[in-house]
Amino acid sequence: MTNLPFRVVLAQTQFPGNLGSVARVMKNLGFSELVLVNPAADPASEMALRMAVHADDVLQNAKTVATLPEALADCVAAVGTASKVDGVVRSSRRGFVRDIMPQVVDISQQGLVALVFGNEPNGMTNDEVALCSHLIEIPTSLEYDSMNLASAAAICLYELRVAWLAAQRNWVTTEKMAPLEAQERVFADLKFALTEIGFLYGVKADSLFEGVRHLLMRCRPKMRDIKILHGLARQVNYYVRTHPEPVKTLEESEGP
């Protein structure tokens, strides 16, 4: 099983042994594309290569980038692995591994999908989580819920392989989803436009926009959708520029 439409992304990995162990799991299960985001650990270190065993080629071919958006730019979606799933942003799109992976396989018909793992001490940040359309929850014991990075990768990649094999059939070719880089550009335009018209305001503005962002991400936007949304944002901004009267928020317009 080669050239699968999946990418493993490790963000700021601290320990070289984990790099090697993840590479070994990847090769065991048929995955080959590895991207490292600003790693503290050296993939060429003796420990990393020792733990990789016969998967040293996965490490040697790994691409290193500075930021997570750079690692995801050509992907159509990203799936995060976050142990902390409390709060609106994280809990709204979480699911157990076995429930999420068939959805990931389905999305992969549209293009490359990234599976993102945060660093060992802290996991994924809220900014990293915001880039993911789905969050994977591994139901660990409450008595000891800290799972090793390589173990988490093994569970997730095993379930992804099983879901991929189960889905082998004659898929209908459809229009491809827009890359995440294009999605992020239009989200920036929309956030500015929604702020200009008073939809986003106050302390809840960021969390409200995360809801808008992930509503659109779940719709699996195509490039034609991205163009429409860019046009919408431009027209909103044009209207605000040409009608300079102060914009009231919904609460202000409704009054006491």
Report pLDDT for 164: 93
86 domain residue, yes or no: yes
Token pair for residue 151?
Answer: 């173990």
186 domain residue, yes or no: yes
Residue whose C-alpha is closest to residue 49's, from 83, 22, 78: 22
What's the rounded Cα separation, in Å, for the pair 184 and 226?
Answer: 10
207 domain residue, yes or no: yes
CATH assignment at residue 63:
3.40.1280.10
Within this chain, do residues 130 and 194 fall inside the same structural domain, yes or no?
Answer: no
Residue scoring higher pLDDT (168 or 154): 154
**pTM score of the predicted model:** 0.74
Within this chain, do residues 161 and 218 fall inside the same structural domain, yes or no?
Answer: no
Report pLDDT for 126: 84
173 domain residue, yes or no: no
Tens-place pLDDT, residues 110-158: 999 999 999 988 888 888 988 998 999 888 888 888 889 999 999 999 9
How many other C-beta atoms can be found within 10 angstroms of the C-beta atom of residue 215? 10
Highest mean pLDDT among 2-6, 215-219, 225-229, 252-256: 225-229
- The residue out of 166, 190, 205 marking a domain boundary is 166
Domain count, the chain: 2
CATH assignment at residue 236:
1.10.8
When pLDDT is cut at 50, 70 and 90, the band that residue 219 belongs to is: confident
Q: How far is CA 7 from the centre of its chain?
A: 11
Which DSSP letter does residue 119 get? B
Report pLDDT for 62: 96
Tens-place pLDDT, residues 30-48: 999 999 999 999 999 999 9
CB 184 within 8 A of CB 71: no
Within this chain, do residues 157 and 193 fall inside the same structural domain, yes or no?
Answer: no
Alpha helices in 73-222, H assignment, sequence order? 88-91, 97-107, 126-130, 149-166, 180-196, 205-218
Q: Kindly tell me the number of DSSP H helices and DSSP E strands found in the chain.
A: 12, 7
- The residue out of 143, 166, 189 marking a domain boundary is 166
When pLDDT is cut at 50, 70 and 90, the band that residue 170 belongs to is: low
What's the rounded Cα separation, in Å, for the pair 8 and 71?
Answer: 10
Q: What is the DSSP string of 58-104?
A: HHHT-EEESSHHHHHTT-SEEEEE-S---SHHHHTTEEEHHHHHHHH
Within this chain, do residues 152 and 222 fall inside the same structural domain, yes or no?
Answer: no
What's the rounded Cα separation, in Å, for the pair 82 and 119?
Answer: 10
Within this chain, do residues 23 and 102 fall inside the same structural domain, yes or no?
Answer: yes
What's the rounded Cα separation, in Å, for the pair 116 and 75?
Answer: 12
Domain that holds residue 100: 6-166
Report pLDDT for 65: 97
Largest Cα–Cα distance of the chain, in whole Å? 69
